[in-house]
A and B are shown apart, each in its own frame.
Chain A
Amino acid sequence: MSVSLTVSDLKMAYGDFQALKGVSFHIEPGQFVTLLGPSGCGKTTLLRCIAGFLEPQSGEIRFGDKRMNDVPPHKRNTAMCFQSYALFPHKTIYENIRFGLRMHKVPAAEHDALIQKAMDMVGLTGLGGRKPYALSGGQQQRVALARCVVVRPDLLLFDEPLSNLDAKLREKVRVEIRELQKELGVTAIYVTHDQAEALAISDVIIAMNHGVIEQIASPRTIYDKSANRFVADFIGTANLLHCKYAGRDACNLTLDTDIGGFTVTDDGYDRLDDISVSWRPEDMTPLPEGGEIPQGCNVISGMVRNSVYMGDRLDIFMHSGDHVFRASVARDYDIPEGSPIRFAVPYGKTRIVQG
């Protein structure tokens, strides 16, 4: 059974440090939601409050209609995949997975079938007799996952579960986690500081910073329409430039910056004080020398500072005024350092963000 989760005005402090400053959000049953933010932003604290390991100072946590604040962790029917896997070192893989069933008083006659099914699900068939230390990191993570899903939790919690795996394996396991969650239809909350992971895996991303939620949106929205400077900068890579509102016509807004004017498609922006203009490196198209400026594009001119070959693309760092901007272009593009360069950025790919 999957449940909805409602968190209302949650506050939590460690001594003088306020880790959560009144966090509120709602998650629908069966959604895969990622708490994303830099170290110390409060995402793990929030997850541990939901699991019941930490008692919030104030605020409310509800699973469905049930208030959970006073429910101890062992009665919340959540299952958490820990960053360190937290496998029981003295138990075999089979016993590790069986632990939750025993604690939930599932009849012993059903254990074998349920454990087998969970092990098959995560590709651990035949490894039940081994101890955790005899498994690789990826296998240990799968055991942790099997141990969670076997108890059919209301809420599946992940605390940076892939951070100890190498990049290739991380990609593989995150796909498996997502497929498993979809198959079970269970509500999942996933903590990570890896924005690529968050974008790839989530239905909804909750971007956090300094104990507050900066934006709640789908991966596409949070990337394309970042709410503020922090989100634009943290999710992916963004070029950011402080600007001032200069005017507005039927479709566009014009902005003044210290490297010249910018035009941005009007997306119904209402707050226009303390703003920056933002655009993504991959939305910058190099213009041939003396070539015409395409319609509906801003032009950014400068000098190539250096370029970095990334395998699938070339990242060019350019000086423009006192600023350095980053552009991602086709990997076969070649330009020497110090050369003058111009880029076109469509109005529709240029955004206004707060801050």
Chain B
Amino acid sequence: MKKKKRFEWGYLLLLPGLGYIGFFVVMSAGIMIAQSFGMYNAITGETAFTLEGWQGVFSKSFVDALGFTLRTSVLSALISIAVTYPLALLLQKSKARKWLLPLIKIPYFVPGLVGSFLIVNLIDYHGLLNEVLMLLHIISEPLRLRNDANGIAVIAIHVWKNVPFMMIIMFSAIEGIRQDVKDCARNLGANSLQVLWHITIPLTVSSALVSVILTFIRTFNDYAISSTAGPMHPMSLANLMKTTAYSYNDWITAGCIGVLMTIVTVIFMVLYTVLGKYLQNGGGK
């Protein structure tokens, strides 16, 4: 006779965690998806299924915003890693790292909005940078670095904010390479550059990829920095979503933008998870 499966009461212990995920993640994502189809409006209470939002979401302003956000996010992540990687390598060898590392990490703990104001003061029309360049006669009139269409200010602030974040990951990765492995390479005839090329970089490249993905996700979804230092056109996606909902009161289209932003984030989260598993299985090491 087939034995009846006993209910495992222990699963109830998962409820607090699953409840949190269910309520705040699944439900809010569900509401956003429903909203994109006109099914739920938390303000007006109106509910009517419509594809209007999805038919109109891919407007020029959306495509421009997507292009701007992707461009600034990708560039921010790439510039951040280009700054962080050599800096982490130098710091690892530096005797001053005990006090340099905590200093470098400071921007990570400064709120994005405060960081924006700090950097904007430096790069604004009459900010320190422009004034110094003018004083040195390198430029004849101030450069427009804030609210510019290329998002230079946004990228600069993202880099300022994300280098410390990446540094935490990259420094641990570089520190994690055993000294005897590097010594062994030297002992077998490798000079410092060859040790870097054949040992350090291959053993840390996966961590660099992980930090690039995480930084991309952070910058892709940013609102605070792009709204203070970014241009009015094109906007960032987060900015566009906010404006569509609050200024145009178009919650359906805002829902569609939110869904699309979430999809991009999920794709990169999956990529991050796959890479993480690969690392856990000793793929990179």
Whether a CB of chain A sits under 8 angstroms from the CB of B245 is no
Determine if A82 and B180 form an interchain contact, defined as CB atoms under 8 angstroms apart: yes
Within 8 A of A (CB), among B207-258: none
Whether a CB of chain A sits under 8 angstroms from the CB of B5 is no
Determine if A80 and B199 form an interchain contact, defined as CB atoms under 8 angstroms apart: no
Determine if B282 and A79 form an interchain contact, defined as CB atoms under 8 angstroms apart: no
Q: Inside 8 A of B284's CB, which chain A residues have their CB?
A: 90
9-residue interface stretch from A96-104, A204-212, A278-286: A96-104
Whether a CB of chain A sits under 8 angstroms from the CB of B183 is yes
Q: Inside 8 A of B189's CB, which chain A residues have their CB?
A: 74-75, 77, 100, 103-104, 151
Within 8 A of B (CB), among A68-125: 72-80, 82-84, 86-90, 99-100, 103-104
Give B200 Cβ to nearest chain A Cβ, in Å.
11
Whether a CB of chain B sits under 8 angstroms from the CB of A313 is no
Determine if A86 and B184 form an interchain contact, defined as CB atoms under 8 angstroms apart: yes
Q: Which of A72, A83, A103, A131 contacts B188 (CB 8 A)?
A: A103
Q: Inside 8 A of B191's CB, which chain A residues have their CB?
A: 72, 74
Give A162 Cβ to nearest chain B Cβ, in Å.
16
In the complex, what distance in Å separates the CA atom of A198 from the CA atom of B186?
Answer: 27
Q: Which of B181, B187, B194, B282 contacts A88 (CB 8 A)?
A: B181
Q: Inside 8 A of A87's CB, which chain B residues have their CB?
A: 181
Chain A interface residue number, banded: 20 to 34
Whether a CB of chain B sits under 8 angstroms from the CB of A333 is no
Q: Inside 8 A of A74's CB, which chain B residues have their CB?
A: 186-191, 194
Q: Inside 8 A of B199's CB, which chain A residues have their CB?
A: 88
Whether a CB of chain A sits under 8 angstroms from the CB of B178 is yes
Whether a CB of chain A sits under 8 angstroms from the CB of B285 is yes
Q: Inside 8 A of B202's CB, which chain A residues have their CB?
A: 90
In the complex, what distance in Å separates the CA atom of A72 from the CA atom of B181?
Answer: 17
Whether a CB of chain B sits under 8 angstroms from the CB of A147 is yes
Determine if A100 and B188 form an interchain contact, defined as CB atoms under 8 angstroms apart: yes
- Which residue of the partner chain A has the closest CB to B205? A90
Whether a CB of chain B sits under 8 angstroms from the CB of A53 is yes
Determine if A89 and B203 form an interchain contact, defined as CB atoms under 8 angstroms apart: yes
Whether a CB of chain B sits under 8 angstroms from the CB of A297 is no
Q: Which of B178, B187, B190, B285 contacts A80 (CB 8 A)?
A: B187
14 residue pairs A–B, Cβ–Cβ below 8 Å: A51-B183, A53-B186, A72-B186, A73-B183, A74-B189, A80-B183, A82-B183, A86-B180, A88-B185, A89-B282, A90-B203, A99-B198, A100-B189, A104-B188
Besides the known contacts A72-B191, A73-B186, 10 further A-B residue pairs in the complex with CB atoms under 8 A apart = A74-B187, A74-B188, A74-B189, A80-B183, A83-B180, A86-B183, A88-B199, A89-B181, A89-B282, A99-B185
